[in-house]
Structure 1
Amino acid sequence: MINILGNFARLEELFLMLDAKLSEIDLAIQSSADPDSDGLFDQSEYYVGLGFVAAQQCLVETVIFSGLGKNKKAYKLGPRHRCGIAYVAAINSAADWWKHEAEW
């Protein structure tokens, strides 16, 4: 049996670490004459991508162990952005994009 609350606690801990790292990078961006050439935007994107993948992992575990199964219906559930897409679907898509972007 999966411990959903334990997963959320670990996810929260990871997000706090990622937030600290992103804040550090943001400070470097603010003081850089050319943050793009310094690779700071790429660093920031990397850590944001890690966050999406961690969230996706938690979502997949929750969906599978809740009995819904990993199907399209599961990713249409829950709160939605004002544009109409479910947050779960947006997180899943962003994580997939980040994981596979280098292949394209």
Structure 2
Amino acid sequence: MVLEHALLSVVPGQEEDFEAAFHEASAIIAGMPGFGRLTLSGCLERPGTYLLLVEWDRLEDHTVGFRGSPEYQRWRRLLHRFYEPFPVVEHFEHVLTA
């Protein structure tokens, strides 16, 4: 399992529209091969900042499969206009559970 991590900074005043668009976009990503689950959390200390965590079976399921798909173009159209600056997306492998 690979964990995708992104901190999403949403343009101030656009949070409600972003959350509605993300709800729609979540159905897009959920149908992709290799998708496990996702969580979107809002930051308590920094309104407008969201933590996106997505579980994938393999790194390539995200970087090649999803990002190279027509579905990703729909995802982009729904969400990318909300980000300022554009988020850095990183991938992690599990090391330890306590």
TM-score in terms of structure 1 length: 0.29
* Higher helix residue share: 1
TM-score in terms of structure 2 length: 0.31
* Higher strand residue share: 2
